[in-house]
Amino acid sequence: MKRLMLVGVAITIVLSVGISWAANADKEKAAVAAAQKWLVLVDTGKYSESWREAAGYFKNAVQQDQWEQSIQAIRPPLGKVISRKLKTKVYKTTLPGAPDGQYVVIQFRTSFQNKKSAVETVTPMLDNDGRWRVSGYFIK
């Protein structure tokens, strides 16, 4: 009887982990799609539109003119994107310095015309409107 209960508990744990993993995978997939769509705006120099499409958290942290000045200083010198490949994606509910929520930290290996090897980190979050929107962007 004890053995049967242990098997039952083990099956329950495996099923719940599997369901959680599948739900997180769906969230990661949606967040990656949102990040890629947003990156097209940045890649094409539509910086004001990228700010408008960003998460409310992003827009509250960075004024539109500040964003446009910052990104204008960073992206054009790199040149056009030659390639961008997904490196990692991790679903998180907490991030340092950010409110609790649903986030996916995504890293892309990116090659630019004037910088052959870079890592772009894009962090979409599930925004108040129920859509995944970018809340952070960094290039190394």
pLDDT value for 24:
85
Above 90 in pLDDT, residue 15?
no
Amino acid in the structure at residue 52: R
DSSP notation for 21-40? HHHHHHHHHHHHHHHHHHHH
pLDDT value for 13:
44
Domains in the chain, CATH or no CATH each: 2-139 (3.10.450.100)
- Per residue in 45-89, pLDDT (tens digit) is 999 999 999 999 999 999 999 999 999 999 999 999 999 999 999
* Token pair listed for 41: 């705006």
- Per residue in 77-135, pLDDT (tens digit) is 999 999 999 999 999 999 999 999 999 999 999 999 999 999 999 999 999 999 999 99
16 pLDDT band, cuts 50/70/90, is: very low
pLDDT value for 22:
59
Higher per-residue pLDDT: 17 or 63: 63
pLDDT value for 139:
96
1 pLDDT band, cuts 50/70/90, is: low
Higher per-residue pLDDT: 123 or 2: 123
Q: Where are the alpha helices (DSSP H) in 1-140?
A: 2-43, 47-52, 56-61, 64-78
